[in-house]
Amino acid sequence: VHKQNLVALQKKLDELHPADVAYILESLPLNDRLLVWDLVKAERDGEILLEVSDAVRETLIASMDSEELFAAAENLDTDEIADLAPDLPHDVMQDLLQSLDAQNRAQLQSALGYPEGTVGALMDFDMVTIREDISLEVVLRYLRRVGELPDQTDKLFVIDRDKKLIGVLPLKRLLLHDPDVSVAAVMVDDPITLHADEEADQAAQAFERYDLVSAPVIDKDEQLIGRVTVDAVVDFIREESDSDMLSMAGFREEEDLFATVWKSVQNRWAWLAINLVTAFIASRVIGLFEGTIQQLVALAALMPIIAGIGGNSGNQTITMIVRALAFGQIHPGNARKLLLKEVGVSLLNGVVWGAVVGVFAYILYNNIALGFVMTGAMILNLLLAAVMGVMIPLLMHKMGRDPAVGSSVLITAITDSGGFFIFLGLATLFLL
Amino acid sequence: VHKQNLVALQKKLDELHPADVAYILESLPLNDRLLVWDLVKAERDGEILLEVSDAVRETLIASMDSEELFAAAENLDTDEIADLAPDLPHDVMQDLLQSLDAQNRAQLQSALGYPEGTVGALMDFDMVTIREDISLEVVLRYLRRVGELPDQTDKLFVIDRDKKLIGVLPLKRLLLHDPDVSVAAVMVDDPITLHADEEADQAAQAFERYDLVSAPVIDKDEQLIGRVTVDAVVDFIREESDSDMLSMAGFREEEDLFATVWKSVQNRWAWLAINLVTAFIASRVIGLFEGTIQQLVALAALMPIIAGIGGNSGNQTITMIVRALAFGQIHPGNARKLLLKEVGVSLLNGVVWGAVVGVFAYILYNNIALGFVMTGAMILNLLLAAVMGVMIPLLMHKMGRDPAVGSSVLITAITDSGGFFIFLGLATLFLL
């Protein structure tokens, strides 16, 4: 690239929103990415690091020395520093903590204390607090004097002397009511509140249901400690669904599109290893029946059909149940009803598709008994898939584990090995 | 249930937020659901119908007659009626259109014109518009006189005589600036705008990147026609990720947890049928090699391993590419680079896991040539998976189709049939 072009590019970058710069960085192969990163003004480094994906952030941070990292982070809010913290070297974090005043240091330390996936990790500290005994006029004058209002502020928080949250004042009410009335007269005194150690998913559901823009976070003494805003919730929802998709496909973590081959292999090998184990087991199940296959080699060609359809049907059931569990819609009272429904669905599917594969087998091999064995095996494997598809996620949920992770692998393993066993077992009993 | 309890339940329902009532309805089996639905006050029916999932909404609407539906819908905003429209009987929609005044009828007709998945379908008409030549004081007085501000209003829209959008006035600026200055002096004159026929996903990305609470929607003449708010975007994002998950598992549409067996079967059969076809093809591929299997029955037990790992690896690649396409991160310039990376990953995986399965086969069957055939087949099938995993979504994208739908089925079909063909083909060549 010519030097002239670099200057033009730099100017262009300066005009872009940090999120747009982040997007460009994510779309570039590593070498080009670091070239562009060098062109970004140092004082913007921090806000851009916040916007890029975790995998890309790692590559950018790896290219910076401690001083650059300190400079990038020191302009950020404490909750933002906390978001970067897992990727920052220990000495940079120490320097940052020392550079903060007492209040900010306390905030940063409290933000660092909340694990990912909690409300505390989504929280920021940009809240405007007021007292209940002043008039709206005073509030308006106070805001004009301060001259700044944090982004995504749709309400002010009303606290008492002990920092206890006693209500919220929506900007809407501040604007619409007579300036002479007091805050106490127009505030909402039973606002929706969040707790810092709640699951972030709970907060997301509250934002979704009640169409919130921001919500106060309180501790167990009802003291106001921060707020959550809808932009943090939107990012959280997107990341959640993205990471669900990645973990279902067997990635350990998010992968940089331009990661090295070696890094990608590390990110993906665990899943392949697990599947190898389940494939070995299925292979040994078939091994048990080698004598049967030797006598009727058609079985080898037909057996993947039984296993495959069972896997698909089981995955439908399990998706349904995992989803209902996530929405909190399953309880002991209706679990039996659901099981009966899924068994019914798979019986009907088993009879219909079992008949289709039975006729297929009969036509191909001109062996009517083989057709009946196919039909019977299909029905039994779909029943197995339905029962396991309901029970696996319910058991995982009961044991306090996330039923979304790994249940698809498990059901496929069961319908594969189970399908081979059922089909070859029936064949051994009835065809030899 | 006793009558007394019903009264208590009714009272409880009246106090709940519509979204909470919707949640309860979704968690109940059909009979109980309709019982509770009857207890809900008629004037709340409309807002609750908006909150329930599509599948549950169908069951509720089926239990209502035309008059009840009309009464439920007539209290709603025009954009909300448009959301319900696909589920309402034709005569109810006609009556609703006739009951509206000219302006609202025009709004409803325009809202009905936008297909699902466009910005127009997310849009509402609750926007407050002002002129640029008045002072902030006048704006404040105007708002107080009207006495109402739509939910999720974080900005007012500034339009000229021709309804053309010339800027937005964030409430923040209205609050913080001297009331004597004019709107023109403090408004944002290059706001982020959306177009009604843009894809909703574009709007969602804009909200996410720029942390918006609301955004104006303009037509091709730059006239303001509506707005999109973050709560609609949050619902859209959730529904999108939910429907991705369901379609990946092979549901035709969202399924009511308590749907009848017959309805569930209809919702799921298409996927099973497609998989049956691909399974038949794979079965015929094996059928080609029955002579080979007859001579070396170990092949029957080992072949699912090759196919299974190929499918997993291919699905990893395809997920990566589909995701990058969704974020717009792939262009002709880097497609080749990505293909090379995926080929590299699968070569490395193929050598490592191929060696593992080769040793496994050798130990089990004490046949060193069989071990080498396993290793070779594994490497080749993983390469096939990588190449197809990159090419299938890119081709689907180029043909204007959604690469997320069906590409997983396709890659699994290819790695199954391909894996059987490669493994049994190599075995025929080198082992017999």
Q: Taking CB atoms and an 8 Å cutoff, what residues of chain B touch A213?
A: 152, 154, 213, 230
Q: Taking CB atoms and an 8 Å cutoff, what residues of chain A touch B284?
A: 301
* B391 and B266 inside one domain: yes
Contact state of B275 with A23 under an 8 Å Cβ cutoff: no
DSSP H or E segment with residue A170: strand A165-170
Residue A314 lies in a domain: yes
pLDDT over 90 at A222, yes or no: yes
Q: Which of A247, A272, A306 is the last residue of a domain?
A: A247
* B181 and B217 inside one domain: yes
Contact state of B149 with A329 under an 8 Å Cβ cutoff: no
Residue B410 lies in a domain: yes
In angstroms, the CA B193 to CA B220 distance is 12
* B105 and B161 inside one domain: no
In angstroms, the CA B332 to CA B328 distance is 12
Residue of A211, A234, A245 with shortest CB distance to B151: A211
Half-sphere exposure of B206 (CA within 13 A, CB side): 20
Contact state of A286 with B301 under an 8 Å Cβ cutoff: yes
Sign of the C-alpha dihedral computed for residues A42, A48, A49 and A55 taken in this order: negative
* B404 and B342 inside one domain: yes
Which DSSP string do the residues of A213-273 spell out, in sequence order?
SEEEEE-TT-BEEEEEEHHHHHHHHHHHHHHHHHHHHT-SS---TT--HHHHHHHHHHHHH
Contact state of B293 with A297 under an 8 Å Cβ cutoff: yes
For residue B38, the tally of other CB atoms under 10 A from its CB is 11
pLDDT-derived band at A432 (thresholds 50, 70, 90) equals confident
Q: What pLDDT score was predicted for residue B227?
A: 96
Q: What pLDDT score was predicted for residue B326?
A: 85
B247 φ, ψ to 5°? -75, -30
Contact state of A341 with B258 under an 8 Å Cβ cutoff: yes
Q: Which of B79, B114, B149 is the last residue of a domain?
A: B114
- Nearest residue in B to A360, CA atom: B280
The pLDDT tens digits of the residues spanning A235-289 come to 999 988 888 888 888 888 888 888 899 999 999 999 899 999 999 999 999 999 9
pLDDT over 60 at A1, yes or no: no
Question: How many CB pairs (< 8 A) connect A and B?
Answer: 305
- Domain with A60, as residue range(s), is 3-117
Contact state of A178 with B275 under an 8 Å Cβ cutoff: no
Q: What pLDDT score was predicted for residue B245?
A: 84
- Nearest residue in A to B404, CA atom: A245
Find out whether A52 and A25 touch, Cβ atoms under 8 Å: yes
In angstroms, the CA B324 to CA A388 distance is 34
Residue corresponding to tokens 């079965």:
B283
Spatial CA neighbour of B403 closest among B388, B419, B383: B388
Residue of B261, B282, B290 with shortest CB distance to A348: B261
Contact state of B349 with A272 under an 8 Å Cβ cutoff: yes
Find out whether B9 and B36 touch, Cβ atoms under 8 Å: yes
Find out whether B145 and B229 touch, Cβ atoms under 8 Å: no
Residue of A174, A231, A315 with shortest CB distance to B211: A231
pLDDT over 90 at A334, yes or no: no
- Give the mutation candidate from A16, A266, A312 for the B interface (greatest B CB count, under 10 A): A312
Q: By three-state DSSP, how is residue A295 classified?
A: helix
Give Cα B93 distance to the centre of its chain.
Answer: 27
pLDDT-derived band at A213 (thresholds 50, 70, 90) equals very high
CATH assignment at residue A147: 3.10.580.10
The pLDDT tens digits of the residues spanning B368-398 come to 999 999 999 999 999 999 999 999 999 999 9
Average pLDDT, chain B: 93
CATH assignment at residue A30: 1.25.60.10
Find out whether A170 and A154 touch, Cβ atoms under 8 Å: yes
Which DSSP string do the residues of A8-45 spell out, in sequence order?
HHHHHHHHS-HHHHHHHHHTS-HHHHHHHHHHS-GGGH
Give the whole-number percent of chain A exceeding pLDDT 70: 100
- Give the mutation candidate from A20, A128, A176, A420 for the B interface (greatest B CB count, under 10 A): A176
* B306 and B344 inside one domain: yes
- Which structure tokens are listed for A47? 């806000």
In angstroms, the CA A156 to CA A161 distance is 16
The DSSP output letter for A115 is: P
Q: What pLDDT score was predicted for residue B1?
A: 55
Which residues are CB-contacts of B291 (< 8 A; sequence separation ≥ 6)? none
Find out whether B248 and B322 touch, Cβ atoms under 8 Å: no
* B330 and B368 inside one domain: yes
CATH assignment at residue A328: 1.10.357.20
* B109 and B21 inside one domain: yes
ipTM: 0.89
Find out whether A385 and A346 touch, Cβ atoms under 8 Å: yes
Q: Taking CB atoms and an 8 Å cutoff, what residues of chain A touch B230?
A: 213, 230, 234
3-class DSSP string for chain B? CCHHHHHHHHHHHHHCCHHHHHHHHHCCCHHHHHHHHHHCCHHHHHHHHHHCCHHHHHHHHHCCCHHHHHHHHHCCCHHHHHHHHHHCCHHHHHHHHHHCCHHHHHHHHHHHCCCCCEHHHHCECCCCEECCCCEHHHHHHHHHHHCCCCCCCCEEEEECCCCEEEEEEEHHHHHHCCCCCEHHHHCECCCCCEECCCEHHHHHHHHHHHCCCEEEEECCCCEEEEEEEHHHHHHHHHHHHHHHHHHHHCCCCCCCCCCCHHHHHHHHHHHHHHHHHHHHHHHHHHHHCHHHHHHCCHHHHHHHHHHHHHHHHHHHHHHHHHHHHHCCCCCHHHHHHHHHHHHHHHHHHHHHHHHHHHHHHHHHHCCHHHHHHHHHHHHHHHHHHHHHHHHHHHHHHHCCCCCCCCHHHHHHHHHHHHHHHHHHHHHHHHHC
Q: Taking CB atoms and an 8 Å cutoff, what residues of chain A touch B315?
A: 249-250
Residue corresponding to tokens 């033009």:
A8
Residue of B234, B276, B282 with shortest CB distance to A234: B234
Q: What pLDDT score was predicted for residue B403?
A: 86
Give the whole-number percent of chain B exceeding pLDDT 90: 81
Residue A75 lies in a domain: yes
Residue B14 lies in a domain: yes
Provide mean pLDDT across the span A26-47: 92
* B107 and B134 inside one domain: no
Spatial CA neighbour of B82 closest among B111, B45, B118: B111
Q: Taking CB atoms and an 8 Å cutoff, what residues of chain B touch A319?
A: 245-246, 248-249, 251
Number of domains observed in the structure of chain A: 3
Find out whether A290 and B301 touch, Cβ atoms under 8 Å: yes
Q: Which residues pair with A168 in a beta bridge?
A: A157, A188
Parallel, antiparallel or unpaired: strands A155-159 and A165-170:
antiparallel
* B214 and B268 inside one domain: no
In angstroms, the CA A54 to CA A268 distance is 17
* A209 and A265 inside one domain: no
Provide mean pLDDT across the span A153-182: 95
Which residues are CB-contacts of B360 (< 8 A; sequence separation ≥ 6)? A280, B374
The DSSP output letter for A75 is: T
- Give the mutation candidate from B15, B23, B25, B27 for the A interface (greatest A CB count, under 10 A): B27
The pLDDT tens digits of the residues spanning A188-200 come to 999 999 999 999 9
- Nearest residue in A to B346, CA atom: A265
The DSSP output letter for A87 is: G
Out of A11-15, A246-250, B158-162, least confident range: A246-250
pLDDT over 80 at B300, yes or no: yes
Q: What pLDDT score was predicted for residue B299?
A: 96
Contact state of B272 with A313 under an 8 Å Cβ cutoff: yes
Distance from CA of B222 to the nearest CA of A (A): 23
Q: What pLDDT score was predicted for residue A326?
A: 85
* B314 and B384 inside one domain: yes
In angstroms, the CA A193 to CA B290 distance is 67
Find out whether A384 and A416 touch, Cβ atoms under 8 Å: no
- Give the mutation candidate from B175, B258, B309, B351 for the A interface (greatest A CB count, under 10 A): B175
- Nearest residue in A to B274, CA atom: A309
Provide mean pLDDT across the span B188-212: 94
* Residue A279 Ramachandran class (φ > 0 left, ψ -120 to 50 alpha, else beta): alpha
- Which structure tokens are listed for A129? 């607090």
Q: How far lies B280's CA from each of A302, A316, A340, A360, B413, in Å?
A: 8, 20, 30, 9, 10
- Nearest residue in B to A25, CA atom: B329
Residue B411, amino acid = I
Q: What pLDDT score was predicted for residue B241?
A: 86
Q: How far lies B344's CA from each of B23, B379, B384, B392, in Å?
A: 48, 11, 12, 18
- Give the mutation candidate from A31, A153, A323, A365 for the B interface (greatest B CB count, under 10 A): A323
Residue A191 lies in a domain: yes
The pLDDT tens digits of the residues spanning A364-402 come to 999 999 999 999 999 999 999 999 999 999 999 999 888
Residue A324 lies in a domain: yes
Q: Which of A198, A223, A247 is the last residue of a domain?
A: A247
Residue A370 lies in a domain: yes
Q: Taking CB atoms and an 8 Å cutoff, what residues of chain B touch A244?
A: 241, 245
- Nearest residue in A to B338, CA atom: A258
Residue A122 lies in a domain: no
Find out whether B304 and B415 touch, Cβ atoms under 8 Å: no
Distance from CA of B313 to the nearest CA of A (A): 7
In angstroms, the CA B342 to CA B330 distance is 14
* A362 and A289 inside one domain: yes
The pLDDT tens digits of the residues spanning B50-72 come to 999 999 999 999 999 999 999 99
In angstroms, the CA B158 to CA B301 distance is 72
